[in-house]
Amino acid sequence: MPKVVFLTNLAPDTAALLTSQAPAEFAVTTASAKLAPAEQVELVRDADFVILFPGIISREALHAATKVKLIQLVSAGFDTLDVGLCKELEIPVANNGGTNSTDVAEHTLTLILAWYRQLGAMDRNVRTNAWSAIDSGATTYTINGKTVGLVGLGNIGRKVARLLNAFGATVLYTDAFPLFEVEERELGVARVPLDELLAQADVVSLHVPLNAETRGMMGKAQFAAMKPSALLVNTCRGPVVDEGALIEALQSKQISGAALDVLAQEPPAADNPLLTMENVLLTPHIAGVTLDTWARRGAFIFANLERVWQGEAPHAVIA
């Protein structure tokens, strides 16, 4: 019987939605991700698999996990895991294979719509008897006819593109791994260099992993290249954006606004200027988290573990 250890900060009922997808022959132990390193060591010492959400585990536990055949992440991102040490210890690591991509894509569109229609301000006005304080005919917008630039076109970016097509947007993208022309036609996207995308887009939406190449990729020069009317949307990772440069661009009206699910520091410091800016819309890093996502992620995760248990190669390997 394979032994699986699930280290998580999820509430027990939520964690159970994921572990309910485990095959009957899998013995799954769910424990707090905040366990002390020594307690983690005891749990993983004889484990065959480790599932992580968030992707954090102590170095001591990794060294003790000599039987572990796969570390399976519940998330898509892996920037909080010591991937280098996993490689050194020859422990394969897989992410969630895009099983939260629908959730993130829908949240991305939600942020664009909420910004374009000023939903937060509208709601506050209705509740405070300022019924017509916003001139919607002068200050709100439609997605139809706009140009949206997607920086990154992986699982999430492609789903965002499909949603935007349905709204009548023109979709540009830039990615280190371009699609074939036939795929671009099917998806309704056109590939352009980053500088051209920034210059043309009414909305710039970020969908890249956080790594050495993408950290700080949106900085002063990039904001200067954007339209003054443009909106920046970030649902990937906060450090992809130079936050100081973003704040400066927003304060100087170099760009119109930002809709952010992620920040450089989470939760943000109380004195972070983004918290008081009227041209900023914020959500607390929850784009990929819905009630519907856990069973979907669990089904992928345990199918992946079962593959490895049967001697096959895992899917979605990142290290």
Could you list the active site residues? Answer: 237, 266, 285
Q: Are 293 and 14 spatial neighbours (Cβ–Cβ below 8 Å)?
A: no
- DSSP-based three-state secondary structure for 119: helix
Q: For residue 228, give the amino acid letter.
A: P
Cα angle, residue 299 at apex, residues 179 and 29 outer, rounded to 5°: 130
Q: For residue 99, give the amino acid letter.
A: T
Q: Which long-range contacts (CB under 8 A, 24 or more apart) does 115-120 make?
A: 115/231, 115/233, 115/257, 115/259, 115/281, 116/140, 116/141, 116/142, 116/143, 116/231, 117/141, 120/281
Q: Are 3 and 47 spatial neighbours (Cβ–Cβ below 8 Å)?
A: yes
Q: Distance from first CA to last CA of the chain, Å, rounded?
A: 26
Cα angle, residue 17 at apex, residues 11 and 318 outer, rounded to 5°: 90
Inter-axis angle of helices 101-116 and 119-127, nearest 10: 60
> In whole angstroms, what is the distance from residue 77 CA to residue 212 CA?
14
> In whole angstroms, what is the distance from residue 181 CA to residue 177 CA?
12
